[in-house]
Structure 1
Amino acid sequence: MALVWLGVVGLLLKWLEIGPVAQWSWWTVLAPFGMAIVWWSVSDALGFTARARQKREDAHRDQRRRNTIDALGRKTPLPRRR
């Protein structure tokens, strides 16, 4: 996401002709967008996003389980079934 923000800032600086960015070529200004696309493609291919999504879902499931146990007034959780 940082590459996208860098690209947006560079694009605005180039378009408004502010600072040294105004003298840069368009290829240099738009390069962070291309790098972001490559990064997202590689991370999807290597499974980084799927693992991160699974971690979030597991944490959410565990929190729901703890909340349910607390609501039932149990001191110790029941053994998990998988």
Structure 2
Amino acid sequence: MWFVVLGLLLIVMKWLDFGPVGGWAWWWVLSPFVGAVLWWAWADWSGYTKRREIDKIDERKKERRRKNMAALGMEERRRR
């Protein structure tokens, strides 16, 4: 995501001829998009994306269980 935001910012700066970016070659300006594609390809290939999704689901399950136990009056008591 940050690669895309950076790429969009660089495109706007190049288009407005703002600062040193105005003098850069277009392939430098567009390079963050290549980084984004490589990142997403690696994240999908390595299973990183799926692990993050599973972690979020597990966290929601734990929170739902905690709320249900509290509603039943069966909260876990912390040990001293």
Both proteins in one fold, TM over 0.5: yes
- Residues 69 and 28 from structure 1, CA distance in 2 versus in 1: closer, same or farther, beyond 3 angstroms? same
Listed as ranges, the matches of 1:1-82 within 5 Å are: 1-76=1-76
In 2, the alpha carbon distance for the partners of 1:19 and 1:63 equals: 48
Runs of 4+ residues deviating >4 angstroms: none
Show structure 1 runs of 5+ residues with no match: 77-82
Aligned length: 76
SS at match of 2:4: helix
Show structure 2 runs of 5+ residues with no match: none
Report the aligned-residue RMSD. Answer: 1.0
- Conserved in 1, the CA contact under 8 Å of 2:10 and 2:21? yes
- What's the CA shift string for 1:24-81, capped at 9, x where partnerless? 11111001011101111111100001001100100000100010011011245xxxxx
